[in-house]
Every structure is written in structure tokens, then in C-alpha cells.
A and B are shown apart, each in its own frame.
Chain A
Amino acid sequence: MQKDDKINNQDLLRKETLVSLVKGIPFCQTLDIQVDYLGNEITTHLPFNQEFIGNPVIPALHGGVIGSFLEITAIIQLSWTSFLNSNENKGISEGGHNLIEDKNIMSDLPKTIDITIDYLHSGLPLESFARATVDRIGRRYASVSVITWQTDPNKPFAKASGHFLVSRS
């Protein structure tokens, strides 16, 4: 019973850390990006907004919105991965309360070096989801790939791959 409480407590703190990361970035708030996680894997969610339209004839989402959403997802996943890694390295992932003191997730956000976006299909006027994979993370550089979909995760409408500067202590 005690063990379950500890896990739940840690889960709650992790969730808080993640939410504080997203809430701390004004542009995420502007786009109203929501975030959820299962273990190390984050899924971001971009609700549809009439203002995101880039082609009113089709109608389709603006390529810039899609690119922004993919880049934000990559940055959030990368911050999250670094955060979990650094906590594990310090051996404090078990002690939930230490996560609060270690809430420095915002202090060094990854910096984008470059990002390549592939537009596979037009984005429909619907909510979108995205998931990023950290392909490599070193002391200074990280490679991340991201996909975004609307109804079926196996049918992404855009994908991106990018390189980021990370600072690891």
C-alpha cells in the first residue's frame, strides 16, 4: 500500500513538472498545446483553432502551425528525456519529493540547430497529435524525429527531423 502511494506521488510530481514546462513557454500557451505522457513517451495535442488555417479553400492547417507543433513536440520530448535521465543519474528517481527541488526543467531548454519538415498531406481542420523520438542524445547534440497525425497514428500527415543543442551537467 505504501509503495503504491509512493508511485502515485511520484507520478503526480512528474505530471506537475511536465505541465510546468508547457505552461512556462508562452508560444505553447498561445497555440493551446496540451501534453500527456506514458512513462518516457510524450504525446502532445494541438486542438483545432480557426486561426490556424493557412488555406481556406481546402481548408487546411497552415504549414507554419504544423512546423511549430512538430518543433515544440521535439523540444518537450527532449527536455523530458534529459530531465528523466539526469534524475536517474543522480539516483533520485525513486524519491518523489526530490523531483520538486530538481524542477530545473525550464532552465536550459534545448536550442534548435536545424529542422526539416516533410508535409505528407494537408492538415485537416481537426485536432492533431504528435509524438517525438529522441534518436540520439549526447553531451551537446541531440537528434530527434517527430510525427503528427489526426485520426490514425499510423498515417501521419507531416513529419520532421531536427538537431538540437542540449546542455547536460
Chain B
Amino acid sequence: MTEDIPLAPETVKSFFMNLPFSKFLGLNLDRLGGGRAKMSMPYQKKLIGDPKTGVIHGGVVTTLLDSCCGAAVMTAGSPKFSTATIDLRIDYMRPAKPEHLIVAEAKCYRITTTVVFVRATAQDGTKEIPIATATGAFTSPF
């Protein structure tokens, strides 16, 4: 994605949906546009991080939040380039309930020509408190 032509949201969506690792985890991009993204991931036994409780591994939630933030960045304007994560901080508020779909929502809250700042949350649909939140800085595609 280094061409100088602005990308349509459909292009961004198909880019994320076709990534090998998105497919591997079964990620689905539910909503996209205006610097926001909503992504979901079904529960899978192969993603378990604690066999005693069946809770999925934190790294899986990291992947979902990272992808969701990246997708939000690509629609915060007309991208000329691709984006890359500079840094990402994840706070795990509580364990995700086994067997539940995990839904992430990301929003860009500061967009510059060099850096885009993003926040995201992940929910499992059982409580109001998210299972995890993310704060990230991404290289600007604008």
C-alpha cells in the first residue's frame, strides 16, 4: 500500500479481512469508517491461555485490539500509505468469559501527518466494564 492513491474503506476492509493472521484468528471487521472500527472474534479452544479456566490468552486480545486500532487509523482520512504500530499498551481489566464472542471498538482521537493516537476497548458482552483497553500510537498514513 505505497501507491499515492487514496484508499476506499472497502479496500481497507478487504485488506484487513484477507490478512493471514486475521483469518487464522477468525477476525471479522463489523464496522469501519471515520476513524472508527468495530471488530469481533469468536471464542476458539486453540486460543486458550489458561487451561484451568478456559480463558483465552491475553496475546489474542492484543491482536484483536491492534488490528482494530490499525483499521480505525486507515479510515481517519484519505490514506496515502500503510500504517504501522509504534507502541501499544494493553490494560487487562478482567478475564474474558469463555465461549463468548469478543468485540473490540477503536477510535482515533488525535490525527496528525506524522502520528495517529488511538484508544480501543474489548468487551465480551457480560458486563459494562471492558475486558481490556488499549492505547496506541501509529505511524500516520496521511
Residues of A within 8 A of B (CB): 24-27, 29-30, 50-57, 62-65, 67-69, 71-72, 106-107, 109, 111-119, 122
B52 to chain A minimum Cβ distance, whole angstroms, is: 7
Q: How many A-B residue pairs have CB under 8 A?
A: 126
How many angstroms from the CA of A115 to the CA of B63 in the assembled complex?
A: 13
Question: Judging by beta carbons under 8 Å apart, are B60 and A68 in contact?
Answer: yes
B98 to chain A minimum Cβ distance, whole angstroms, is: 12
Partner of B59, one of A29, A67, A107, A119: A67
Q: List 19 A-B contacts (CB under 8 A).
A: A25-B49, A27-B46, A30-B46, A51-B20, A52-B21, A53-B20, A57-B2, A62-B67, A63-B66, A64-B60, A64-B66, A65-B21, A68-B60, A111-B92, A112-B90, A114-B89, A114-B91, A115-B89, A115-B90
The secondary-structure label for the interface of chain B is mixed
Residues of chain B within 8 A of A29, CB atoms compared: 46
What number of B residues sit within 8 Å (CB to CB) of A? 38
Q: Is the C-beta of B121 less than 8 angstroms from some C-beta in chain A? A: no
Question: Judging by beta carbons under 8 Å apart, are A27 and B59 in contact?
Answer: yes
A56 with B20: in contact, given A67-B66, A71-B58, A117-B62 (CB under 8 Å)? yes
B132 to chain A minimum Cβ distance, whole angstroms, is: 9
Residues of B within 8 A of A (CB): 1-2, 19-21, 23-25, 45-52, 56-60, 62-64, 66-67, 70, 82, 84-92, 95
Question: Judging by beta carbons under 8 Å apart, are A114 and B47 in contact?
Answer: no
Question: Judging by beta carbons under 8 Å apart, are B87 and A69 in contact?
Answer: no
A54 with B2: in contact, given A67-B88, A114-B91 (CB under 8 Å)? no
Which residue on B lies nearest to A24, using beta carbons? Answer: B51
Partner of A64, one of B46, B59, B87: B59
How many angstroms from the CA of A64 to the CA of B71 in the assembled complex?
A: 13
The secondary-structure label for the interface of chain A is mixed
Residues of chain A within 8 A of B57, CB atoms compared: 25, 27, 68, 71-72
Question: Judging by beta carbons under 8 Å apart, are B47 and A57 in contact?
Answer: no
A114 with B51: in contact, given A25-B57, A62-B63, A65-B63 (CB under 8 Å)? no
